[in-house]
Amino acid sequence: MTNDRKYDCLCAGILVADHVCDPVDHLPQAGELVLSKRLSLSIGGCAANVAVDLAKLERHVGVVGVIGRDIFGRFVRDFLEDSGVTCEALVESETEQTSGTLIVNVRGEDRRFIHTVGANAEFTAQEIDTDLLKNSRVLYLGGYCLSDSLTTDNVASLFEQAQQLGVTTLLDVVIPQPGDYWSRIEPVLKFTDVFFPNEDESRAITGLVDPLAQAEKFHAAGARTSVVTCGGGGAILVNDDGAIRAGSFEVDFVDGTGSGDAFVAGFIHGLLEGVDVQRCLEYGSALGASCVRAIGATTGIFRPAELREFLTRQKIPLARVTEL
């Protein structure tokens, strides 16, 4: 992977202003007021989260996506720039508001989301020109399948061009509702170096329940490496060498927002370092663990020294499952 490029990673796709509450005791009934210690406005969306996480790891990162010309759009841009992310390719919609998500945390339960797609619906991937690709070592596209504007042809063409230019391609998805997603994803996988769905998304895409079977199907369809994340259950990786099951680190859980994106950022960090896939899994799992320790998608993310120190103290089980 060449080092003479402006961006270690170009992060494209979903950009969101997240409205997050500190954990409450229970969901309010109709007409009931429930108090939260704090309501926070923070960055969200796959592309934004991965970009900020990588910037915290001192990587040179650019972002491509669409925001609205509103106060939340200004917040997203300012947050990214303050985090060290280059926003020269960020586009402002003339008509749509910035995408937003209301994240409700109830103590002891998984998160609940209320989302508006907003300006993300206008992102087509054609915003990424050849010069941007030539200046990037890795291209990460997050949020595929959330909107119809990001078409299969556009993504497949972009990834094919990226690979021709020596850019490593990584694909992540958002599955909003039941539907036929395999027909949208399969044509892109043959141009995808690493595919990062979670277990639930993989079930919706393939109809398969077992994460190993899911990962094997993605690899058989063309993804050079497929990584199915399973939350606290760890992750399954499948490539030409076989399959690896990774465990997860035990940390004090506060908020799961952005943990999957943090895993991806850690894995990318490993790719950029040139380490093997086992070490990439360790980086991804460690960064995901750092994320859940604090409210917000990027608040608790390790800095490089913290990541190194954490991995000297803790290990996760890594086991080869099968030879393909």
Residues 62-95 pLDDT 10s: 999 999 999 999 999 999 999 999 999 999 999 9
8 A C-beta contact, residue 201 and residue 179: no
Residues 145-168 pLDDT 10s: 998 999 999 999 999 999 999 999
Taking CA atoms, 167 is separated from 172, 193, 219, 265, in Å, by: 16, 9, 19, 16
Q: Tell me which architecture the domain covering 12-26+37-322 has in CATH.
A: 3-Layer(aba) Sandwich (3.40)
**Residue 48: HSE in the Cβ half-sphere, 13 Å Cα cutoff:** 32
DSSP H or E segment with residue 104: strand 100-104
Report d(CA 72, CA 146) in Å as an integer: 20
Nearest to 244 by CA among 203, 284, 200: 284
Residue 175 tokens read as 């599955």
Report d(CA 39, CA 273) in Å as an integer: 37
Residue 323's pLDDT band (boundaries 50, 70, 90)? very low
Domain boundaries defined on the chain = 12-26+37-322
DSSP secondary structure string for all residues of 125-186: STT--HHHHHTEEEEEEEEETSSTTS-HHHHHHHHHHHHHTT-EEEEEE---SSS--HHHHH
